[in-house]
Amino acid sequence: MSSYRGIPLDHRRLPEQETLSRARDFQREMARRRSVRHFAADPVPREAVELAIRTAATAPSGAHRQPWRFVVVDDPAIQRRIREGAEAEEHESYVGGRMPPEWIEALEPLGTDWHKPFLEIAPYLVVVFAELFGVEPDGSKRKNYYVKESVGLACGLFVAAIHHMGLVTLTHTPSPMRFLNEILGRPENEKPFILFPVGYPAEGCEVPDIRRKSLDQVAIWNPRPDPAP
């Protein structure tokens, strides 16, 4: 017997011109979004971060398991430990040979290296963990579905929310990231997914001079297979 229970959809169909106007406005706004590695230490309202997380948590997820945990850090001592852990892993990647030469070459236009001072400068670090499986009150495991896809969607909404409110962030993924479980006391069923520094850009902040692919390069309409020979 199905346990499905439906409720009315909260939706208002917009006139076509309003739909297009909203779409153009949002596209222009998001086109200005950039990953930032130079942060100001200026304080950010806690509610702003909470609202970004609440927005992220509206993401769809496999079987509605909502397999994400957003762990927020604004304690300088913890931020220092996170920086030390991240730089140790990044040093091994950049200097210790963990990254192959072609990867180092691909990153060169971005101007990145193993030094991550922004992890102590940004007023907040938001570490997103993927819940690999749930744990019931009796200690038994509960399967989660499409975990990576679900958490990735939530992270995308988080990035959009941060940009929309006039803040900046960076998708930082030192690898491996298990040191974050130890520092933040997270259980074994949670795997670090992305580390987001959050704040305002530093005075005079610069970003790499890069270009995004055109619509024709990223979108294909009605592809048809080649005819059989």
Residue 207 within any structural domain of the chain: no
Residue 181 within any structural domain of the chain: yes
Residue 121 within any structural domain of the chain: yes
Q: How many domains does the chain have?
A: 1
Residue 194 within any structural domain of the chain: yes
CA-to-CA distance for 184 and 180, rounded, in angstroms? 6
**Position 227 confidence tier, pLDDT thresholds 50, 70, 90:** confident
Residue 112 within any structural domain of the chain: yes
Residue 188, token pair as written in the block: 């074994």
Residue 24 within any structural domain of the chain: no
User: Pick from 194, 165, 200: which is nearest to 177 by CA?
Assistant: 194
8 A C-beta contact, residue 171 and residue 83: no
> Can you give the residue range of the structural domain that contains 144?
34-201
CA-to-CA distance for 206 and 128, rounded, in angstroms? 26
CA-to-CA distance for 157 and 57, rounded, in angstroms? 8
Residue 216 within any structural domain of the chain: no
Query: Which pLDDT belongs to residue 2?
Result: 83
Residue 138 sits in a domain of what CATH number?
Answer: 3.40.109.10
User: Pick from 7, 23, 27, 26: which is nearest to 15 by CA?
Assistant: 23
8 A C-beta contact, residue 119 and residue 79: yes
CB neighbour list of residue 146: distance below 8 Å, 6 or more residues apart: 61, 62
pTM of the model: 0.95
DSSP summary character for residue 58:
T
**Position 1 confidence tier, pLDDT thresholds 50, 70, 90:** confident
What's the mean per-residue pLDDT of the chain? 96
Region 98-117: what's the mean pLDDT? 92
Residue 41 within any structural domain of the chain: yes
Query: Which pLDDT belongs to residue 225?
Result: 86
Query: Which pLDDT belongs to residue 226?
Result: 81
CA angle 215/153/182 to nearest 5° reads 130
